[in-house]
């Protein structure tokens, strides 16, 4: 199984040609051709779908995807950032949602995950910003 080497996509000025690099990764099946997430277990050296996108083609009772809301009726995949329902897209819990394509109503369970990045403060960020009172 061959992997695309990022060094091959370096431009003369030393920067990376991201567009070409991602296209090469797509053609090589390293990233999903539908949602662009990285494919962990590759099965081919050609364009491929990630595990989550592959299940859309199956006849399942429910669909889970980390990037899209999948309509269980017509399988339309909706990008949450493009819909007019902030609570469906960004709030934990169960929401009623009507498919934009087939207009059937279904339930979406939204799970929001958090992660925390910590870093040291610069000297000038510490001054006057000490809320612990020490």
Residues that bind Zn ion (CB under 5 A): 32, 34-35, 50, 53, 71, 73-74, 76, 99, 101-102
Report, in Å, the least distance between residue 76 CB and Zn ion: 5
16-21 long-range CB contacts below 8 Å, 24 or more apart? Answer: none
Nearer CB in complex with Zn ion: 60/74:
74
Nearer CB in complex with Zn ion: 92/101:
101
Nearer CB in complex with Zn ion: 74/96:
74
Report, in Å, the least distance between residue 33 CB and Zn ion: 8
Whether residue 71 contacts residue 96, with contact meaning beta carbons closer than 8 Å, is answered with no
Kind of pairing, strands 105-110 and 93-98?
Answer: antiparallel
Report, in Å, the least distance between residue 57 CB and Zn ion: 12
Nearer CB in complex with Zn ion: 83/126:
83
Residues 18-56: b if buried by 16+ CB within 10 A, e if exposed: eeebeebbbebbbbbbbbebebeeeeeeeebbbebbeeb
Report, in Å, the least distance between residue 10 CB and Zn ion: 27
């Amino acid at each position: 199984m061959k992997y695309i080497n990022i060094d091959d996509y370096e431009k003369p000025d030393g920067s990376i040609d991201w567009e070409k690099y991602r296209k090469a990764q797509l053609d090589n099946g390293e990233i999903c051709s539908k949602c662009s997430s990285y494919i962990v277990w590759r099965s081919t050296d050609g364009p491929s779908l990630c595990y989550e996108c592959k299940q859309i083609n199956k006849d399942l009772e429910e669909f889970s995807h980390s990037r899209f809301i999948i309509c269980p009726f017509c399988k339309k995949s909706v990008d949450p950032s493009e819909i007019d329902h902030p609570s469906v897209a960004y709030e934990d819990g169960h929401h009623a949602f009507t498919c934009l394509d087939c207009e059937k109503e279904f339930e979406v369970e939204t799970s929001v995950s958090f992660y925390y990045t910590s870093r040291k403060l610069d000297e000038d960020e510490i001054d006057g910003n000490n809320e612990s009172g020490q």
